[in-house]
Structure 1
Amino acid sequence: MQYTLNKTICQHVRMVAVQRPFFAGPPVFTIGSGLSRSNPTQPTGFPLGIDNKKPRVWMSLSYQVRMDDEQCYLAVHSSYCGIFAEADLSTCLCHFDFEREKEHYAGAHLQVHGSSPALDKLNRGHDVGRTLDKLHFPVGGKRFRPSLEDVIEFLVSERLVDAREGWEQVVEDGRDQFQRQQLKAAMRRNTAVVQAWVRDHGQAMVRE
């Protein structure tokens, strides 16, 4: 994450991992900016910029990771990536969230801050007055949720931030690595599907 950010839309960002204290169960680590032993759970925001100009955009980025149920692989338990227009993170544009064990709405989701006349008309009953940022837009599910590289591409493509020369390759390489990891995880959880695919296509692969 640190490499990807500093090679694309940031400079001098430092991401660290700190074990979550006083947690009953397997160790959980929080990854983010500004963490330390005295501040193990509350990452700080950081500016998005590649020069010394006054930054216009800030990001708040954090991950909680722990071993999976089989104690074989490190898995993301939750993540948060928020985009803000103020250094104190008081004015939010949107945030991309992942909560592995969420039940009442999509675990991988996007929340957008703003007004919506359509939502004002659609709200009814107890939802009257509900604002746009309270909606959880699903984005790809547990396996194929947006990566940090997708967020960077969004920020650059929509002209919200400037990027370093060569940022496209950094994003593409990182996204490819993320998608490969997610595909392997999906294969581990769906071995019957993998076996069926190999049975149906294995001979063709050998001939190729």
Structure 2
Amino acid sequence: MTSDLERKAFEFAQVLQCTLNATICRDVRLRAVQRPFDVTPVFTVGSGLSRSNLTQPTGFPVRIDNKRPRIWMNLSYQVHMDHEAKYLTVFKSYCGIFSDEELETCLCHFDYEREKDKYTAAHLQVHGASPALDALNRRGDEKRPLEKLHFPVGGKRFRPSLEDIIEFLICERLADGREGWQRVVEEGRDRFHRQQLRAAMRRNTALVEEFMQEQEKQA
């Protein structure tokens, strides 16, 4: 199973790498490396991974030319095979947007953790000041900053894809996009949605049958 997982994780890393380099980056290199000590084989996908760094992806500049980058991204995925050992599954992901190479000044980060206990599995955390939150905080939360709030973003199946984040950065004038970036984003987003829909159908065959029966009655 590990060899199949390794191949699929490598292919997944290549798709992400191509998407980034075709839209908002140049020469980004993503690798898929097996995490040590996990009972179930798990691969981490990200930048800067090596034999001496198996678990902590590093940041990379968001730029399409040789100019000094204005923005940095830290991208991390943890993947394994599903229960049937047939399909690659993302069970944890992180995409942080920073204004510095040291990754100390964060704008926001998009997180996903399957079966999260306390917060919604897919969420967005935004760094900044919020007078509204200061006014709304209750006793015991008086000093709670904005970045501690977990804004839900679509749940397990309909969470933001990397393409959504790329579109956000370009449309909000935080990053420059290569010519034709819209096509890459649309194709990648459509691929992601199709994969999520297929996964939902596999897990809800009764609902699929119910839908097909309704369609037959209407035909």
What is the TM-score normalised by the length of structure 1? 0.96
**1:102 equivalent in alignment to 2:116:** yes
Deviation at 1:73, TM superposition (A): 1.2
The amino acid that maps onto 1:165 is: E
Query: The residue matched to 1:125 in structure 2 has which SS?
Result: coil
Deviation at 1:203, TM superposition (A): 6.3
**Matched-pair contact (CA < 8 Å) for 1:120–1:128:** yes
Identity, % of aligned positions: 68
Distance, in Å, in 1 between the alignment partners of 2:63 and 2:47 is 15
Residue 158 of structure 2 is aligned to residue 180 of structure 1:
no
Residue 11 of structure 1 is matched in structure 2 by: 26
Please state how far the C-alpha of 1:71 moved relative to its aligned partner: 2.0
Contact 1:20/1:40, CA 8 A, preserved across alignment: yes
1:169-200 CA distance string (max 9 Å, x none): 00000000000000001111111110000111
Farther off after superposition, 194-203 or 3-12: 194-203
Deviations 1:105-142 (A, max 9, x none): 11100000000000001101221110000000000000
Paired residue secondary structure (1:182) = helix
Paired amino acid for 1:109: H
Matches within 5 A, 1:20-99: 20-23=35-38, 25-99=39-113
Of 35-44 and 69-78, more deviation after overlay is shown by 69-78
Q: Which residue of 2 aligns with 1:119?
A: 133
Deviation sequence 1:32-72 (CA, Å, 0-9, x none): 00101111101010000000000000000010001112222
5+ residue gaps in structure 1?
none
Q: How many residues align?
A: 204
SS in 2 for 1:127: coil
Residue 6 of structure 2 aligns with which residue?
none
Deviation at 1:26, TM superposition (A): 1.5
Q: Distance in 1 between matches of 2:118 and 2:216?
A: 41
Q: Secondary structure at the match of 1:16?
A: strand
Structure 1 match to 2:4: none
* Correspondence for 1:191: 205
Given candidates 178, 195, 207, the residue that maps to 1:164 is 178
Q: 1:132 aligns with which of 142, 146, 153?
A: 146
Q: What is the Cα-based RMSD across aligned positions, in Å?
A: 1.0
Q: Structure 1 CA distance, aligned partners of 2:91 and 2:75?
A: 14
* SS at 2:140 equivalent: helix
Provide Cα deviations, 1:142-174, integer angstroms capped at 9, x if missing partner. Answer: 000000000000000000000100000000000
1:202 is displaced (CA, Å) by: 3.5
Distance (whole Å) between structure 2 residues aligned to residue 114 and residue 22 of structure 1: 37
Unaligned runs of 5+ in 2: 1-15
After TM superposition, which residue ranges in structure 1, 4 or more long, deviate above 3 angstroms? none
Residue 17 of structure 2 corresponds to residue 2 of structure 1: yes
